[in-house]
Structure 1
Amino acid sequence: MRSLHKENRSPFIVLVLLWFMGIGHMTAQITDQPETAVPAEGEEEPIYWTVKAHRPDAQLMDIKAIDKKGNRHEVRAIQQSSDASMLSVKAMVDGEALPIKLVEKGGEQFYPVKAIDHDGFLIGIKAETETGGLLDVKGVSQTGNIVHLRAINKYLKYYNIIAISPEGKVYDVKGLKMLDTPVETVINGVRIFAHVKSLAQ
């Protein structure tokens, strides 16, 4: 895999993606407030896909959101309708569905994957090993507007990130860039490099 870098993308593709995701002014300060995990009256019941890390030669590992107290929270891809071509990926924390994004990496080699609460606090996204250990989930490379996410162990062995539906369908979980700028938007004071979505393989 090659390192992250900018690539020119078709304006048409960018416009289609912007329309599809309903995102307007990408560089503006926005308040992406957490969503309740309980649907409002009259809304369609969402379908929750589990999010896992895997390699063909290894067992599946759960992806968790780890707060500052060390509490482990579920991470889910959420299907809101029969159109399942692209799913939001959220951290389910205390009854709220928090957005998960790739944030600015600062001096790090890879882009961190974090959940963001309404106060702008970052919650780590990790893969949980069968022995209870935790592996960082990072954006490690980029192809066009897609950022490849991997769980990484201490030997720099990579694990793919996937979402699995209750019926056993498998989607990739990827970072999605829409602009050729280092910062896509600002959410609750946090500068965002890319969005995290589950996409049909």
Structure 2
Amino acid sequence: MKQYILICLSVSICFNVGNSQKNTTENEEFKEIIWHVKAFKPEMKYLKIKAIDKKGRMYDVKAIQNSEQTSFLDVKAFVKGKRLPVKMLVGEEKYHPVKAIDEEGNILDIKAITEGGIVLPVKGVSKSGNIVHIRAIDEGIIFYNVVAVSPDGTTNAVKGIKLKPGNIETTIHGIDVFAHIKSIPQVSY
């Protein structure tokens, strides 16, 4: 019997410390909402999604909602007080690896972590037009969806987005990027 895991983003609200006004005017700045990356089984056991550096240190990966719109959210790794871009890199193998990139061009792995400490790679596995489908991969044969869940329970898919034709979307700190990682509305079939 196959078990399926959905990788989800749980949510907490972070307030802009510099803004002391109360929420009474239309022009007030939007209070940023941070979506924490988690994985869960149908039994609702959560798995962590982390950025892992070369020394094995783990950091949070989150989707960031910084306005009322929820259709296109940034996904970032929170490393030592900085928000690093999470991107899909140009791959040499069958699948494109999902990684975070720091200011010096160092790459951090993006992984799903099971309760037993098993580390699952997160990769771009197939492409539909400009969308690249991302999955956590268990033993190379079981693929788990990656989604974002809002505070009200609405879900977005976490996908790779291609804006340009060809293999290289952009280059960040010397690293070739295949696609940007975003949280977008799910398509119903």
TM-score (structure 1 length as normaliser): 0.75
Residues 1:78 and 2:96 are matched in the alignment? no
Q: CA deviation at 1:41?
A: 3.7
Q: Deviations over 1:65-98 (max 9, x none)?
A: 1111111111100001111111000001111110
Contact between 2:77 and 2:84, CA under 8 Å: does it hold in 1?
Answer: yes
Q: Deviations over 1:82-137 (max 9, x none)?
A: 1111100000111111000000112x110000000001100000001011211000
1-structure distance, mates of 2:51, 2:60: 6
Q: CA deviation at 1:53?
A: 3.6
2-structure distance, mates of 1:174, 1:103: 13
Contact between 2:48 and 2:112, CA under 8 Å: does it hold in 1?
Answer: yes
Residues 1:49 and 2:63 are matched in the alignment? no
Residues 1:179 and 2:164 are matched in the alignment? yes
Q: CA deviation at 1:153?
A: 0.9
Q: 1:97 to 1:178 in 2, by over 3 A?
A: same
| Structure in which a larger fraction of residues adopt helix | 1
Contact between 2:30 and 2:68, CA under 8 Å: does it hold in 1?
Answer: no
Choose which of 149, 152, 165 in structure 2 pairs with 1:164.
149
Contact between 1:102 and 1:195, CA under 8 Å: does it hold in 2?
Answer: yes
Which residue is equivalent to 1:117? Answer: 102
How do 1:1-201 and structure 2 match up within 5 A? Answer: 41-42=18-19, 44-54=30-40, 56=42, 59-106=45-92, 108-201=93-186
Contact between 1:54 and 1:160, CA under 8 Å: does it hold in 2?
Answer: no
Contact between 1:53 and 1:160, CA under 8 Å: does it hold in 2?
Answer: no
Aligned length: 164
1:100 is aligned with what amino acid?
V
2-structure distance, mates of 1:56, 1:104: 32
Structure 1 runs of 4+ aligned residues shifted over 6 Å read: none
| Structure in which a larger fraction of residues adopt strand | 2
2:160 is aligned with what amino acid?
G
Q: 1:57 to 1:117 in 2, by over 3 A?
A: same
Q: CA deviation at 1:157?
A: 0.5
Unaligned runs of 5+ in 2: 1-13, 20-28
Q: Specify the SS of the correspondent of 1:131.
A: coil
Q: CA deviation at 1:166?
A: 3.2
1:193 is aligned with what amino acid?
F
Q: Which has the higher contact order (CA 8 A, sep 6+)?
A: 1
Provide the alpha-carbon RMSD of the alignment: 2.1
